[in-house]
Amino acid sequence: MNAEIAADPDSAPPAGVATGDIATPDVLSRPRIRAEVLIVLGLSLGQSAVYAIVELVKRYLATAPIGKQTTTLNPSLSTINYLNIVLQVLNIIFTLVPVALALYLLSSHGQSWKTRLGLDLNGRSRWRDVGLGFGLAAAIGLPGLGLYAVGRAIGQTVRIDTSGLPHQWWSAVILLASAGVAGMLEEVIVVGYLITRLQEMRWSVPVAILASALLRGSYHLYQGWPMAIGNAVMGAVFGWVFVRTGRLGPLILAHWTLDAVSFIGPDVVPASWIAALNGG
């Protein structure tokens, strides 16, 4: 056995992986995986979590109570129409870069990220994934609306305006694309990538799922603590489904469905419904 491996148990490969005089290149050491995870999260949703915590503190320190405050998802990025479109598209593209990085890292040493995340589709698995995805969206969506209404009623959830885009022909396309990007970003990184890497670091399944769920809740803290708790519960369910089925596709579809409905819904349903949901 290589002397460095013998001296550092953290760098030892998992049981059953053969090693010669040189460490097997396919096996990443736990310190290296730990550093990789911190870098990926620091470039993406870990960074968002830190900002969300600071934003929550700022909201509680503001003059207006948190229940009287508003946050806008999908804001307009320019008052000039064509620049707004360009900036929206650029924002979508660059938001996907951490996703590409996570997939690249999972596919290193000849491994397939499609296989590892259960995104390799055939006819049978495709339809199972679709059914599970819509089922998860329904199971999460309705309680989520109730939680939002309760949070607004007790004054601990900010008013969430899901779109600040102008009424232009391209707005719905951008909103639907943004919903898809959010689904890929969160589910690939917070569930597929993170849980896979934590298990490779010998974390137990329940602890890995809990870490994933807490991360999801933390970067929603800017909406208020009730929504953060609700998202953490959603994260625990999604993490359990991924570990149980090995399929990430249903989670991405469910997330896209939830966000698409919330982004487009306010322009479709009666204004009185939105007012009632916001407690006013």
Note whether residue 130 is domain-resident.
yes
pLDDT in tens, 184-228: 999 999 999 999 999 999 999 999 999 999 999 999 999 999 999
Global pTM value: 0.87
Which whole number is the average pLDDT over 120-141?
Answer: 88
pLDDT in tens, 25-63: 456 789 999 999 999 999 999 999 999 999 999 999 999
Note whether residue 251 is domain-resident.
yes
Q: For the chain, what is the domain count?
A: 1
pLDDT in tens, 148-181: 999 999 999 999 999 999 999 999 999 999 999 9
Return d(Cα 89, Cα 243) in angstroms, integer: 33
**Which residue, chain included where needed, has tokens 């149980």?**
244
Note whether residue 4 is domain-resident.
no
- The whole domain housing 130 covers 43-277
Nearest by Cα to 76 from 158, 167, 159, 160 = 167
Three-state DSSP class for 120?
coil
Note whether residue 24 is domain-resident.
no
Is the distance from CB of 163 to CB of 260 less than 8 angstroms? no
Note whether residue 107 is domain-resident.
yes
- With 90 as the cut, is the pLDDT of residue 12 above it? no
Structure tokens at 26: 């396919």
Note whether residue 156 is domain-resident.
yes
Note whether residue 160 is domain-resident.
yes
Backbone angles phi, psi at 161, to 5 degrees: -95, 115
User: What is the residue-averaged pLDDT of the chain?
Assistant: 90
Note whether residue 8 is domain-resident.
no
